Amino acid sequence: MSDYRIEKDSMGEIKVPKNAYYAAQTQRAVENFPISGIPMSRYMIKALGIVKASCAKVNADLGLLDQTVASYIMKAAQEVIDGKLDEHFPLDIFQTGSGTSTNMNTNEVIAFRGSEMASTDGVELRIHPNDHVNFGQSSNDVFPTAIRIAAAVEAKQSLVPSLEHLHTALREKGEQYKDVVKTGRTHLMDAMPVTFKQVFDGYARALELGVARIDSALERVLELPQGGTAVGTGINTHAEFGARFAAEVARVTGLPFMESVDHFEAQATIDAPVELSGQLKTIAVSLMKIANDLRWMNSGPKSGISDVMLAPLQPGSSIMPGKVNPVIEESTVMVCAQVIGNDATVTLAGGMGSNFELNVMLPVAAHNLLESIKLLANVTRNFADRSIRAIVVNEIRVREQLDKNPILVTALNPIIGYDLAAQIAKKAYKEDRSLKDVALEMTDLSESDLDKALDPIKMTLGGFTE
């Protein structure tokens, strides 16, 4: 019993670990949800701290909460924001669907720590988790608000800079090899030539569009449900609370948060987080394409394509000495698969969890959305630094492949016609000869005419090469 203390709530007494800052409601949730062992995201805990600190300040400014009580709530909430109290947030993500358990966990921790800080300062004060920390709030507006704050802050401060970092690396790599022409490929088969700059600029553009997609989705995420309380009507809170709260969060985070246009929409759905998750999925699809392209271009080194050489970072086999694998690309593809799967969960949570005035799959939606942001932010920066920046183009191999590419005959179509061009291509491929030599035999074109028409760099510029 010395390891426990007795706490009470509306359901009676319960034993709580002696040194825990939380109280009865959190302990009941600990016992009720021994599901996954996955705790609430650090991003969510931080966002909940921001919510509680901002609520306390606004309510004090409105004259609804004692200034001294509010000041200690804000001090304790700041420790939550800073990650100093994470050990006191033990709850599983698979819990009550509104996030009430974690909201009360936050209320209890801040009440306990705030009271403790006041006592240390010689101030006689007992902060109540419901009457004070949760004043003018409901789990039903607190938790979806925290999701939006966490997602917006991490997307703008972590993910977008990482995407821009990868974008820069791709542009720089393309510029480094801007004059090198390689065999293009469609259907995994040889096609018309392209420059490495064109290839890498295409990848970079996909990242630009990814950032634009995030920015667009955030326009909806920045609308905060706080102020709607239980069902969106704003019962038990001040009429100005929602707008003032959003302004305070905007001040703290530096992001243009605003009160939701319609609290019923903002609390009854998670459409904005679902939209953002969908955009993260699109970014994952783009990254998967880039990583897989590089895996193909690096294949070999003797029997594959071998357009590029990726950095040799670690041994690739426990049985085959000397084998080196594209490990960064493989880790990137796995992250992309995880993000795509996370989006499926967020989508289902949005569609099946939203009934009447509340979504009741909020914790799992929050976990998957924020995990996707974190994974994409980390993997894009790693991809840029440990893969893209270290790529070396195999210029000799690329030129050899290009010289034997029968598809270059496409440039002769306007001069000699499709049918004769096809015959030349098939003969060159069958006899493993250069297109130029075969064309000299089968057409009246001079060597200089063929050199001009079959110039690979001109083919990458579009139009006609004649």
CB 133 within 8 A of CB 52: yes
Question: Where in the sequence numbering do the catalytic residues fall?
Answer: 187, 317
Please report the pLDDT score of residue 403 as a whole number.
Answer: 85
Residue that terminates a domain, selected from 377, 396, 415: 396
Residues in the chain predicted with pLDDT less than 70, given as ranges, are 1
Asked if the structure places residue 200 within a domain, the reply is: yes
Domain count, the chain: 3
Residue that terminates a domain, selected from 370, 396, 422: 396
Nearest Cα neighbor of 109 from 195, 171, 19, 35 is 19
The tokens for 89 are 């947030």
Looking at the structure, tell me whether residues 362 and 267 fall in a common domain. Answer: yes
Question: Is the Cα torsion angle 279, 280, 281, 283 positive or negative in sign?
Answer: positive
H/E/C letters for each residue in 361-386? CHHHHHHHHHHHHHHHHHHHHHHHHH
Cβ-count burial 410-419 (b if 16+ within 10 Å, e if not): bbbeebbeee
Q: For residue 317, give the CATH number of its domain.
A: 1.20.200.10
Rounded distance, CA 276 to CA 274, Å? 5
Beta partners for residue 92, in sequence order:
39
Looking at the structure, tell me whether residues 120 and 87 fall in a common domain. Answer: yes
Radius of gyration of the chain measured on its C-alpha atoms: 30
Q: For residue 435, give the CATH number of its domain.
A: 1.10.40.30
Asked if the structure places residue 3 within a domain, the reply is: no
Looking at the structure, tell me whether residues 145 and 124 fall in a common domain. Answer: no
Please report the pLDDT score of residue 53 as a whole number.
Answer: 98
The tokens for 322 are 């000397």
Looking at the structure, tell me whether residues 194 and 323 fall in a common domain. Answer: yes
Pairing of strands 308-309, 392-393: antiparallel
Looking at the structure, tell me whether residues 259 and 373 fall in a common domain. Answer: yes
Q: For 116-165, what is each residue's pLDDT tens digit?
A: 999 999 999 999 999 999 999 999 999 999 999 999 999 999 999 999 99
Q: For 428-446, what is each residue's pLDDT tens digit?
A: 999 988 889 999 999 999 9
Looking at the structure, tell me whether residues 114 and 157 fall in a common domain. Answer: no
Asked if the structure places residue 7 within a domain, the reply is: no
> CA of 138: how far to CAs of 37, 225, 456, in Å?
26, 11, 66
Looking at the structure, tell me whether residues 111 and 85 fall in a common domain. Answer: yes
What secondary structure letter does DSSP report for 131? I
**Residue 413: which domain range?**
404-459
Asked if the structure places residue 389 within a domain, the reply is: yes
Asked if the structure places residue 464 within a domain, the reply is: no
Q: What angle do CA 20, 22, 26 make, to 5 degrees?
A: 120
Q: For residue 69, give the CATH number of its domain.
A: 1.10.275.10
Asked if the structure places residue 2 within a domain, the reply is: no
Pairing of strands 358-359, 354-355: antiparallel
Asked if the structure places residue 250 within a domain, the reply is: no
Residue that terminates a domain, selected from 70, 101, 135: 135
Looking at the structure, tell me whether residues 38 and 148 fall in a common domain. Answer: no
Contacting residues for 144 by C-beta, under 8 A, at least 6 apart: 225, 266, 267, 270, 359, 362
Contacting residues for 305 by C-beta, under 8 A, at least 6 apart: 296, 297, 298, 299, 401
CB 133 within 8 A of CB 71: no
Looking at the structure, tell me whether residues 352 and 416 fall in a common domain. Answer: no
Looking at the structure, tell me whether residues 370 and 437 fall in a common domain. Answer: no
Asked if the structure places residue 12 within a domain, the reply is: no
Looking at the structure, tell me whether residues 95 and 224 fall in a common domain. Answer: no
Looking at the structure, tell me whether residues 57 and 204 fall in a common domain. Answer: no
Helix H segments across 432-463?
A: 435-442, 447-453, 456-459
Q: For 383-418, what is each residue's pLDDT tens digit?
A: 999 999 999 999 999 998 998 888 999 999 999 999
